[in-house]
Amino acid sequence: MVSLAVEHLTVTYPECAEPVLRDVNLTLETGDFAVICGPTGCGKTTLLRMMKRELTPLCTQSGTVSFEGTPLPALNARTSAAQIGFVMQQPEQQIVTDKVWHELAFGLENLGTPQDVMRRRIAEIASYFGMEPLLERDPSSLSGGQKQMLNLASVMIMQPRLLLLDEPTAQLDPIAAADFLTTLLRLNQDFSVTILLAEHRLEEVIPRAGRLILMGQGTVTHSGRPAEILAQLPPDAPVMAGMPAAVRLYHAAGGTGECPLSVNDARTKFMPLYAQNVRALPEPEPRPHTAPALRFKEVFFRYERHGRDILADLSFTAETGELFCIVGGNGAGKSTVLSVIAGLRRAYAGKIEIFGRKIQDYKGRSLHQECVTLLPQDVQTVFLKNTVAEELAEISKAYAEELRGFPFDLEPLMQQHPYDLSGGQQQLAALAKVMLTHPRLLLLDEPTKGLDANAKEQLAEVLHGLQAQGVTILLVTHDIEFAACHADRCGFLSRGEMISADIPSHFFAENAFYTTAASRISRGFYDRAVTVAQTAGLCRINGLKAAAGEEARDAGHPL
């Protein structure tokens, strides 16, 4: 049975010359688990919202979207609200009540569900999702992973037949993201819920998906089984940069035969084909030491006088011109660290120095005048104007000249309202705005969320350019691969304490969960290979040696 059918859908936003979606055609069968991916701004979010009548944006449209054979405008209100579920990228935007059980009951109350049925469903869904200990909690006290799982449970309690998700793991740590995706797979298999998931984090999604849908320039370019599509795509296709490490490694190393999709496939079917004559790349040249830009010494912070310490005995140093990445679980205190450095929160004990001065010695606005700038996790909080151009002009009238070297083309966004942009586009516009403040210490909270792989590389180019100018960058991220590829050092924050900090090739080589897929693939075969490029380089070296050895043996000559 056809669950969802999109036919010749074209969508244009008001006052925009070009449509955001062009002649989109897509069909999902009941029980499909499909993932949709494509470049930042290609129309993924708009397409998902066009499938949920209550979230359809103000626009001009042609074509049709049908659910189980009925066009969306013809669905009755109850079917539309209950049978098509939607989970957003930012968990906080979907939470509306002050207790977990109230949140679970909210949708059922609006559907007029009898009280005894409602109580039974809440108990049932709480048990299924393991939320029974959380039912009396305030949702604001939950971790990011718990909030997103609550949003999913609040949708599933209405027993939808179609579930739409817009980058639901964007703000989750690796472990919480894996748990969330595992739950989605269970729902798909246990209840035949049709799932359409838009994602940039594809490492664990692609191996689980039955359908892969690629978008580009506002339309669907490919649709089918992931293994078949990825076998057809050329290695230099732009979308390939965001594919799982196993796929990229296969192409980068010149693999033949079946393309692996998962870590397990790569370890069992791909890595054994390469000889291990060379087990490790040379140690990287150490970064020259520079003066400390930021120093924390035994810092403590809590939000409430009698609450628990969010930062506890926190000590670490970031050097001038260094790109220092902080990783750790949701609720570990990473964002709190940035807010304390930015002067938005005040530690109750310990010493914080910024460029050799105690933070309390920065009076008035001196801390933020070409010194410290924070790009928060919720970038919408930095937008105050009606257009992107006005946002940039608020900081500098000469923004066009100052952003001349900015690698992202912001021109198509200039006359749009910042809230009308996709999540990734908002991230880029906000980054451009904070760069105009000319910081010496730049604080970034999850700057890669919502960005495709190519946009991340352009972001890295911006950050390395700032480093060359002596700017120190402290970056909080769940994007382990970005940290492994571009950080000078990485630190692990747990329960408000910096557990360890080291260069990426050492830091990620020892971790089991907070590590890259490339490290998990290469472990036991090669030493300290934590990126796809490093692993592929060793595969190519060892592959050539293996081939040369076979040729020598065939000719009867020793190497």
**Protein fold of 2-232:** Rossmann fold (3.40.50)
Order the strands of the 349-354 sheet from edge to edge.
311-319, 292-301, 349-354, 357-358
What is the arithmetic mean of pLDDT over 194-218? 92
Partner residues linked to 62 by β-bridges: 10
Q: Is the pLDDT of residue 223 over 90?
A: yes
Give per-residue pLDDT as tens, 93-147: 889 999 999 999 999 999 999 999 999 999 999 999 989 999 999 998 887 788 8
Architecture of the 321-348+363-502 domain = 3-Layer(aba) Sandwich (3.40)
DSSP H or E stretch at residue 53: none
Report the relative pairing of strands 357-358 and 497-502 from DSSP bridges: unpaired
255 contact partners, CB below 8 Å, separation of at least 6: 249, 270, 273
Residues of the chain with CATH 3.40.50.300: 2-232, 321-348+363-502
Using pLDDT thresholds of 50, 70 and 90, give the confidence band for residue 261.
very high
Report how far residue 17's alpha carbon sits from residue 37's, in angstroms, rounded to the nearest whole number: 24
| CB neighbour list of residue 56: distance below 8 Å, 6 or more residues apart | 49, 50, 72
Q: What is the mean pLDDT of the chain?
A: 89
Predicted pLDDT of residue 553: 44
Of 102, 113, 26, 14, nearest to 66 by C-alpha is 26
What pLDDT digit, counting tens, does each position of 456-488 carry? Answer: 888 898 899 899 999 999 999 999 999 999 999
What percent of the chain is modeled with pLDDT above 90?
A: 61
The CA–CA distances, whole Å, from 347 to 236, 366, 443, 453 equal: 49, 19, 17, 36
Residue 476 φ then ψ, to 5°: -95, 130
